[in-house]
A and B are shown apart, each in its own frame.
Chain A
Amino acid sequence: MTGPAYVIGVDVGGTFTDVFILDEASGRVETAKVPSTRGDQSRGFVEGIGRQVEDFGRIKTVVHGTTVGTNALLERKGARTGIITTEGFRDVLEMRRRDRPTTWGLKGSFAPVVARTDRVEVVERILADGSVLQPVAEKDVRDRAVALAESGCEAVCVFFINGYANNQNEMSAVEAVRSVWPNAYVTAATEILPEIREFERLSTATLNAYLQPVVSSYLDRLETGLHSKGFQGDILIVQSNGGVMSVDTAKCYPVRTALSGPAAGVIAATAIAKAAGFDNIITCDMGGTSFDVSLVAGGEAALAAQTAIDFGMVVRTPMIEITTIGAGGGSIASVDKSGLLQVGPESAGSDPGPVCYGLGSERPTVTDANLVLGRINPDRPIGGKLDRLDVEAARQAIEKHIARPLNLTVEEAAEAVLRLANAKMAGAIRLVSIEKGHDPATFAAMPFGGGGALHTGALIKEVGLGSALVPRFPGVTSALGCVVADMRHDRVQTVNRLLDEVDAPALGREMTAVADQTEALLAGAGVDFAGVDRVFELDMLYLGQTHTVSVAIEIPAGGLTADVIRAAFEEAYREAYGRLLEGIAMRIMNYRIAVVGRRPRLDMAVFAPSGGKAAEACRTGTRKVYAAGRYHEAGVFERLDLGVGAVLAGPALLEQPDTTIFVDPGLQAEVDAFGNLVITASGN
Chain B
Amino acid sequence: MAVDAVTLAIMKGRLEQIADEMDATLFRSAFNPIIAEAHDASHGIYDAVTGDTLVQGKSGLPVFVGVMAFAVKAVIDKAAERDGVHEGDVWIFNDPYDGGTHLSDFRLVKPVFRDGKLFCYLASVGHWHDVGGNVPGNYNPAATECFQEGMLIPPVKLFDRGQFRQDIVDILSANSRLPNSLYGDLNGQLNALELGEKRMASLLDDYGDGVVADCLAELKRRAAQMMRSQIAGLPSGTVSAEDYLDNDGIVDAPLKIALDLTIDGDRMVMDFSRSSPACAGPVNISRSTTVAACYVALKHIFGDVPANAGVLEPVEFRIDDASLLAVKAPKPVGGYTETILRLIDVVFQAVAQIAPAAAMAPAYGTINALSLAGHRGDGRRWVMFSFFGGGHGAHASGDGLNHGNAPISTATIPPLEILEAAYPVRFTEWALRPDSGGPGEYRGGLGAVYEIALLEEQADVFLFGERGKYPPPGIVGGGAAAPNRFHFEQRDGLHEPPMLSKMVGIQIDKGQKLRLETPGGGGYGDPLSRTAESVLRDCRLGYVSRQQAEAAFGVVIAEDGSLDETATVSLRRREAAQ
Number of interface residues of A (CB under 8 A): 69
For residue A385, CB closer than 8 A to chain B, the reply is no
A546→B430 contact, CB < 8 A: no
Identify which of B27-35, B75-83, B96-104, B136-144 touches chain A: B27-35
A507 to B363 CA separation, bound complex (whole angstroms): 47
Residues of B within 8 A of A501 (CB): none
Instruction: Please name the residue on chain A nearest to B37 by beta carbon.
Output: A546
A338:B6 contact, CB within 8 angstroms: no
Among candidates A95, A431, A546, residue contacting B432 with C-beta atoms closer than 8 Å: A95
Closest partner residue, chain A, to B412 (CB atom): A97
A128 engages B421 (CB within 8 Å): yes
Pick the residue among A94, A104, A336 that contacts B403 (CB under 8 A): A94
Contacts of B188 in A (CB 8 A): 577
Interface: B461 (CB within 8 A): no
Q: Annotate B295-315 by CB proximity to A: 1 below 8 A, 0 otherwise.
A: 000011101100000000000
* Stretch from B107-115, B220-228, B271-279 that touches the partner: B220-228
Q: List residues of chain B with CB within 8 A of the CB of A496.
A: 421
Residues 99-152 of A contacting B (Cβ, < 8 Å): 99-110, 115-117, 125, 127-128, 133
Cα(A133)–Cα(B21), bound, Å:
44
B404 at interface by CB-CB < 8 Å = yes
- A contact residues around B415 at 8 Å (CB): 97, 196-200
Residue from the list B9, B230, B403 in contact with A96, Cβ < 8 A: B403
Which residues 402-453 of B have a CB within 8 angstroms of A?
402-405, 407, 410-418, 420-421, 426-432, 448, 451
Q: Judge whether B402 and A419 touch: CB under 8 Å.
A: no
Q: Does A542 contact B (CB under 8 A)?
A: yes
Q: Does B568 contact A (CB under 8 A)?
A: no
Query: Which residues of chain B in 508-563 are interfacial with respect to chain A, using CB atoms and an 8 Å cutoff?
Result: 540-543
Stretch from B10-18, B43-51, B472-480 contacting the other chain? B10-18
Nearest neighbor of A116 in chain B, beta-carbon distance = B541
Q: A94-B432, A100-B392, A547-B36 are in contact. Are A338 and B187 (CB under 8 A)?
A: no
**Which of A98, A115, A341, A406 is in CB contact (< 8 Å) with B412?**
A98
Task: Assess the B430–A95 pair: CB atoms within 8 A.
Answer: yes
The answer to the question of A416 belonging to the interface, with a C-beta cut-off of 8 Å to chain B, is yes
Which of A98, A164, A337, A576 is close to B229, meaning CB atoms less than 8 Å apart?
A337
User: Is A161 an interface residue when CB atoms closer than 8 A count as contact?
Assistant: yes
Specify which chain A residues have a CB less than 8 angstroms from the CB of B363 in the assembled complex: 106
Decide: B410 and A99 in contact? CB cutoff 8 A. Answer: yes
Please name all residues of chain A whose beta carbon is closer than 8 Å to the beta carbon of B388 when the two chains form the complex.
Answer: 98
A178 contacts chain B at the CB level, 8 A cutoff: no
Tell me how far the C-beta of A650 lies from the nearest C-beta in chain B, rounded to whole angstroms: 21
Q: A107-B395, A109-B401, A342-B9 known; A117 and B540 CB under 8 Å? A: yes
Contacts of A164 in B (CB 8 A): 417
Q: Name B6's contact: one of A117, A420, A577 (CB within 8 Å).
A: A420
Tell yes or no: A38 within 8 A of B by CB.
no
With a cutoff of 8 Å between Cβ atoms, the chain A residues found around residue B58 in the complex are: 103
A117 to B432, CA, bound (A): 13
Complex interface: chain B residues within 8 A of A430 (CB): 17
Cβ of A424 under 8 Å from chain B: yes
Contacts of B14 in A (CB 8 A): 423, 427
Look across to chain A and name the residue whose beta carbon is closest to the beta carbon of B304.
A336
Given A100-B401, A196-B415, A431-B17, the answer on whether A341 and B9 have CB atoms closer than 8 Å is: yes
Please report which residues of chain B, range 465-518, place their CB below 8 angstroms from some CB of chain A when the two chains form the complex: none
The answer to whether B541 and A161 touch across the interface, beta carbons within 8 angstroms, is no
Task: List A298-352 residues whose CB lies under 8 Å from chain B.
Answer: 336-342
Complex-state Cα separation, A197 to B419, whole angstroms: 10
CB contact between A423 and one of B13, B389, B431, B542 (< 8 Å): that residue: B13
Please determine whether B181 and A544 come into contact, CB atoms closer than 8 angstroms.
Answer: yes
Set of chain A residues within 8 Å of B360, measured between Cβ atoms: 105-107
A90 at the interface (CB under 8 A from B): yes
**Do A95 and B448 have beta carbons less than 8 Å apart?**
yes
B33 partner residues in chain A, CB cutoff 8 A: 546
One of B389, B399, B427 near A88 (C-beta < 8 A): B427
Q: A41 to B521, alpha carbons, bound, how many Å? A: 44
Query: What residues on B are CB-neighbors of A339 within 8 Å?
Result: 5, 222, 225
Do B184 and A584 have beta carbons less than 8 Å apart? Answer: yes
| Interface residue? A579 (CB, 8 A) | yes
B183: chain A residues at CB < 8 Å are: 581
Provide the B192-222 mask, 1 if CB < 8 A to any CB of A, else 0. Answer: 0010000000000000000000000000001
Expressed in whole angstroms, the Cα–Cα distance for A406 and B5 within the complex equals 7
CB of B397 closer than 8 Å to a CB of A: yes
Q: Are B9 and A544 in contact (CB-based, < 8 A)?
A: no
- Within 8 Å CB of A102, what residues of B? 303
Asked if A91 is at the interface (CB within 8 A of a chain B CB), the reply is yes
Judge whether A89 is part of the interface by a CB distance below 8 angstroms. yes
Report which of A98, A196, A198, A576 forms a contact with B411, defined as CB distance below 8 A. Answer: A98
Q: How far is the CB of B152 from chain A (nearest CB, A)?
A: 25
Given contacts A100-B404, A103-B62, contact A91 B430 (CB under 8 A): yes
- A75 contacts which chain B residues (CB < 8 A)? none
**Contact string against B for A residues 537-549, beta-carbon threshold 8 Å, 1 for contact and 0 otherwise:** 0000011111100
Tell me the complex Cα distance, A115–B537, Å: 11
**Inter-chain contact A542/B31, CB cutoff 8 Å:** yes
- Identify which of A110, A116, A338, A577 gathers the most chain B CB atoms within 10 Å of its CB: A338
- Would A435 and B10 count as touching, CB distance under 8 A? no
In the assembly, what is the distance between CA of A110 and CA of B403, in Å? 10
Compute how far the CA of A547 lies from the CA of B303 in the bound complex, rounded to whole angstroms.
31
10 A-B pairs with least C-beta separation = A338-B226, A98-B389, A338-B222, A98-B413, A97-B412, A88-B429, A128-B420, A423-B10, A416-B6, A95-B403
Give residues in B with beta carbon < 8 Å to A: 5-6, 8-10, 12-14, 17, 21, 24, 27-33, 36-37, 58-59, 62, 178, 180-181, 183-184, 187-188, 191, 194, 222-223, 225-226, 229-230, 299-301, 303-304, 360, 363, 388-389, 392-393, 395, 397-405, 407, 410-418, 420-421, 426-432, 448, 451, 455, 540-543
21 residue pairs from A and B, CB less than 8 Å apart: A89-B429, A89-B430, A91-B403, A98-B404, A106-B392, A106-B393, A109-B401, A117-B542, A164-B417, A197-B417, A200-B415, A340-B5, A340-B12, A419-B10, A420-B9, A546-B414, A576-B28, A577-B28, A577-B191, A578-B191, A581-B180
Other than A88-B430, A416-B6, A579-B191, give 15 A-B pairs with Cβ distance below 8 A.
Answer: A89-B429, A94-B432, A95-B389, A104-B303, A116-B432, A116-B543, A161-B416, A161-B417, A420-B10, A423-B13, A423-B14, A544-B184, A545-B31, A546-B33, A578-B194
